[in-house]
Amino acid sequence: MNSNTGKGLSVKLGTIELKNPVIMCSGTFSSGIEYNDLYDVSMLGAVTTKSFSLVPREGNKPPRLCETPAGLLNSIGLENEGIDFFINEHLPVVKRSGFTIILSILGADAAEFTNLATKIRKIEDDLLAVELNLSCPNVEKGGITLGSIPDEVENVTAAVRKILNIPVIVKLSPNNNNLAELASRAKNGGAEAISLINTIIGMAIDINTFKPKLGNIIGGLSGPAIKPVAVAKIYNLYKEKILPIIGMGGISDWKDAIEFMLAGASAIGLGTVNFVDYNAGKNILEGIASYMGSKNILNITDIIGKVKVR
């Protein structure tokens, strides 16, 4: 990056301060260690880790992936090595490498989130924030089942909030039609920002074998195919002025990132694009900076929610 690229890029979401608005989505970047071989991951606003649960999860039956037009259907089922693995194995490395970490966590209910938060308390100084995955479509308990019930959203958020001092982000699913209500309840529970959107429930069938293409039958759709849905969800929630939004869903270049910010995202999340363009984080950050230069935008915050609807 040239020496000007750092300027005017910082954003604030509640008390969450980011040096730039580029965040890596949960589950598509692991903890960032692999990508650090390709570019300096510490330049990113933040890396959201894979969602970790209290105990390791084996994930769903394969096949877990299926490409659809401009999209990716997945039914990973939150395979992860468990929170202790993150604390013992990933954290020392990401700390040494200077990554800014948002730790994503997943529990079946408020009690499990409480246990997770208790474990995280001893490492919270090393984290920027914690993100509650209340939106995964690929698990039987927790995820979207929990995240579509307003009372649960508030309870879970409050339970974690009570234990941790770092900011709490709640990640919601586009498969809900009451996002404003869910976001307000997350706010009541003490959340400082909303991540939107997780994947959209989808399915694909092999017409030769008559079988579903995913082992788990149904999965979550991500990638460019879902971008307009994400933009609309963000636009609608932004208008409600409930909480700042980390916008994600199909961003594939810096132009998409700008579009999300115009719709109302204070920061943007990169997911599937990391599989297509391994340098997406770096490239999109540089793209945003040069767009600002060309448009004479001094602070990126000046464009948040500035879509001209009339």
Partner 1 sequence: MKLIKGEIISNKKIGEGLYKMTIFSPYIIKHSLPGQFVNIKCSSESTIDPLLRRPFSIHDIEPDFKVFSILYVLKGTGTKYLSKLSSGDIADFIGPLGNGITLQENENNNFLLIGGGIGVAPLFFLAKTLSAAGKNVFFAAGFKDNNFLLFEKMLQGLKISYEIYSENGTHGKKGMITDLVIERADDFKKYDIYCCGPINMYKVLQNIFSLKSIKAKALFEEIMACGIGVCKGCVMKFKNGKDGYIYKTICKDGPLFDLMEAIFE
Ligand X SMILES: Cc1cc2nc3c(=O)[nH]c(=O)nc-3n(C[C@H](O)[C@H](O)[C@H](O)COP(=O)(O)O)c2cc1C
Positions of E strands within 25-74: 46-48, 65-68, 71-74
Q: Rule CB under 8 A: choose which of 59, 150, 190, 293 binds partner 1.
A: 59
CA distances from 111 to 13, 103, 115, 183, 185 (A): 27, 18, 6, 21, 18
CB of 245 to partner 1, least distance (A): 24
Question: Look-up: residue for tokens 């013992």?
Answer: 88
CB 170 within 8 A of CB 146: no
Q: Rule CB under 8 A: choose which of 20, 28, 51, 133 binds partner 1.
A: 28
CA distance linking residue 264 with residue 97, whole number of Å: 31
Helix axes 179-189, 227-239, angle to 10 degrees: 60
CA distance linking residue 77 with residue 32, whole number of Å: 20
Residue 59 interacting partner from partner 1, ligand X, none (CB closer than 5 to 8 Å by kind): partner 1
Q: Rule CB under 6 A: choose which of 45, 212, 250, 264 binds ligand X.
A: 250
Q: For residues 126 and 277, which CB has a smaller minimum distance to partner 1 in the complex?
A: 277
226 binds ligand X (CB under 6 A): yes
Beta strand 193-196 with 245-248 is: parallel
Binding marks (x or -) toward partner 1, 256..295, rule CB under 8 A? ----------------x-xxx-xx----------------
Q: For residues 79 and 181, which CB has a smaller minimum distance to partner 1 in the complex?
A: 79
CA distance linking residue 43 with residue 41, whole number of Å: 5
27 binds ligand X (CB under 6 A): yes
Residue 133 interacting partner from ligand X, partner 1, none (CB closer than 5 to 8 Å by kind): ligand X
Question: Look-up: residue for tokens 């730790």?
Answer: 103
* Secondary structure letter of residue 200 according to DSSP: E
Q: For residues 6 and 59, which CB has a smaller minimum distance to ligand X in the complex?
A: 59
CA distance linking residue 129 with residue 15, whole number of Å: 10
50 binds ligand X (CB under 6 A): yes
252 binds partner 1 (CB under 8 A): yes
Q: For residues 30 and 293, which CB has a smaller minimum distance to ligand X in the complex?
A: 30
Given the residues 136, 144, 183, 248, select the one marked as catalytic. Answer: 136
Residue 188's contacts (CB-CB under 8 Å, 6 or more residues apart) are 154, 157, 158
CB of 198 to ligand X, least distance (A): 4
C-alpha torsion sign, points 265, 71, 277, 273: positive
136 is catalytic: yes
Q: Rule CB under 8 A: choose which of 20, 23, 29, 159 binds partner 1.
A: 29
Q: Rule CB under 6 A: choose which of 60, 75, 133, 155 binds ligand X.
A: 133
Nearest to 83 by CA among 31, 13, 5: 31
> Residue type at 16?
I
For the chain, give the number of residues.
310
Q: List interacting residues with ligand X (CB under 6 A).
A: 25-28, 50-51, 72, 74, 76, 78, 104, 133, 136, 171, 198-199, 222-223, 226, 248-251, 270-273
Catalytic amino acids?
Answer: 136
Q: List interacting residues with partner 1 (CB under 8 A).
A: 27-30, 34-35, 37-38, 50, 58-59, 62-67, 69-72, 74, 76, 79-80, 223-224, 252, 272, 274-276, 278-279
